[in-house]
Chains A and B, each alone.
Chain A
Amino acid sequence: MASFVRFTLDGRECLAEEGAQLVAAAKECGVFIPTLCNCPGIPPKGACRICTVLVNGMPHTACTTRVVEDMAVVTRTPELEAFRKSVVEILFAEGNHLCPSCERSGNCELQALAYRYRVTVPHFPYLFPKRDVEAWHPKLVKDHNRCIQCKRCIRGIRNDKGQAIFAFGKRGDKVVINIDPETSKDISDELAQQAMDICPVGAILRKGKGFDTPIGRRTYDRAPIGSEAAP
């Protein structure tokens, strides 16, 4: 049987399984910690930093932090919330995010976080980088304009032989996430859908899909992201 540990979450005493991921443990306790590169079921990466919380007074990414006995976690301070808003703003300024023409609009985690933090305009200059849209794949479209390099697709999507179908190309600010033509050759429609769903933004799309949920009924149309954990 798993052993439980006591820790405090925003001053409240909570219980969690020892070694549980802090993001998941907080959710269990009804506290929402925003995430982007984290995805339940795949190994955490700590790439986007939006889940930064204070653990015993020090900033830690909650997706890569495991709960231990007597840990004191603070998830919300004005500084943390401002920092998270900045992360969203940087991502909006860094890529070409045209929500009105995006198939993922309304179901996009980045957009939902921008709604949550009421991002009206980034406090950073728009870069308008030149990026391609790859449409050669029979089942998938990769729109590099929208990619936030969270690597969820690389970590989470495997073909039936267990091979990754997404991979890095280039480095630094030129990094791109490519579809491997070999390993992705015969992917099923279900796997293509999983790839689309694992992407937090609209960078991976299934061909011939999109705009199938009317405005008003999409995931984040009515309630902010995180309201299921902390209303």
Chain B
Amino acid sequence: MSPKSAKAKKIVATTSLAGCFGCHMSLLDIDERLFDLIELVEFHKSPIDDIKTFTKECDIGLVEGGCCNDENVHVLTEFRKHCRVLVAVGECAIMGGLPAMRNTIPLKECLDEAYLGGATVADCNPGRVIPCDPDIPKILNRVYPCHEVVKMDYFLPGCPPSADLIWDALVALVSGKELALEYRTFKFD
């Protein structure tokens, strides 16, 4: 490949915050279009190539999941700094999704249920410890949708968004054409 065509490729970063990686699986579900995709874009920081830190500026950042801990906030802030266009991919990035079901319950009650009093805890936690090691990300008081933490440019709904919607969105972003949000691909589940 000539350096010129390499330069013309848009650079894409992806991450999964408080998500289940389902949106990344949906991205892989574009199937044979993956070959077209790698002609169109170069992946940078992403679980797909396991690049962990930003070493260059990216054109497109795809963010799956909302923010449930301080590490999510850090990663999302880094994405905002290094990506020209940031896309919230999926229900969790858009509104917190299933992790946000805890948003109506005080954090202490959640932790007590998970580590002390819950039916499945039994005697698994004899020291009655709620993990608080400094190496573990600190959990936030509630789960925040991405756009409540940084400015997000676009939103792709779905749980997960269909592979066709992700593909259409990537093609639109790379080609600079307007995205036709087809009814068939526009779903919340």
Give A contacts to B, CB under 8 Å.
92, 96, 98-102, 105-106, 111, 114-115, 118, 120-121, 125-126, 128-131, 215, 221-224
Known pairs A105-B188, A224-B183; A98 contacts B104 (CB<8 A): no
Q: Which residue of A lies closest to B160 (CB)?
A: A100
- Chain A residues contacting B147 (CB-CB under 8 Å) are 121
- Chain B residues contacting A115 (CB-CB under 8 Å) are 183, 186-188
Contact (Cβ within 8 A) B159 A121: no
Q: How far is the CA of A98 from the CA of B147 in the complex (A)?
A: 17
- Chain B residues contacting A130 (CB-CB under 8 Å) are 104-105
Contact (Cβ within 8 A) B188 A114: yes
Give B contacts to A, CB under 8 Å.
88, 91, 94-98, 100-101, 103-105, 142, 145, 147-148, 152, 154-157, 159, 181, 183-184, 186-189
Is the contact region of chain B dominated by helix, strand, or loop, or is it mixed?
A: mixed
Contact (Cβ within 8 A) A128 B104: yes
Q: Which residue of B lies closest to A100 (CB)?
A: B159
Q: How far is the CA of A118 from the CA of B158 in the complex (A)?
A: 12
B91, chain A: closest CB distance, angstroms: 6
Q: Which residue of A lies closest to B155 (CB)?
A: A120
Q: How far is the CA of A224 from the CA of B88 in the complex (A)?
A: 24
Q: How far is the CA of A118 from the CA of B186 in the complex (A)?
A: 8
Known pairs A101-B98, A120-B157, A224-B183; A128 contacts B189 (CB<8 A): no
Q: How far is the CA of A117 from the CA of B154 in the complex (A)?
A: 16
- Could you show 19 A-B contacts with beta carbons less than 8 Å apart? A96-B101, A96-B104, A98-B100, A98-B101, A99-B159, A100-B91, A100-B98, A100-B188, A111-B188, A115-B183, A115-B188, A120-B155, A120-B181, A121-B88, A121-B94, A126-B148, A128-B142, A221-B187, A222-B183
Q: Which residue of A lies closest to B106 (CB)?
A: A130
Q: How far is the CA of A114 from the CA of B183 in the complex (A)?
A: 11
- Chain A residues contacting B155 (CB-CB under 8 Å) are 120-121
- Chain B residues contacting A120 (CB-CB under 8 Å) are 94, 154-157, 181
A28, chain B: closest CB distance, angstroms: 25
Q: Which interface residue of B100, B181, B189 has the most chain A CB atoms within 10 A?
A: B189
Q: How far is the CA of A125 from the CA of B148 in the complex (A)?
A: 8
B133, chain A: closest CB distance, angstroms: 28
B99, chain A: closest CB distance, angstroms: 10
Please give 13 more A-B residue pairs, beta carbons under 8 A apart, in addition to A98-B91, A120-B154, A126-B145: A98-B100, A105-B189, A114-B188, A115-B183, A115-B186, A115-B188, A120-B157, A121-B147, A121-B152, A128-B103, A128-B104, A215-B189, A223-B183
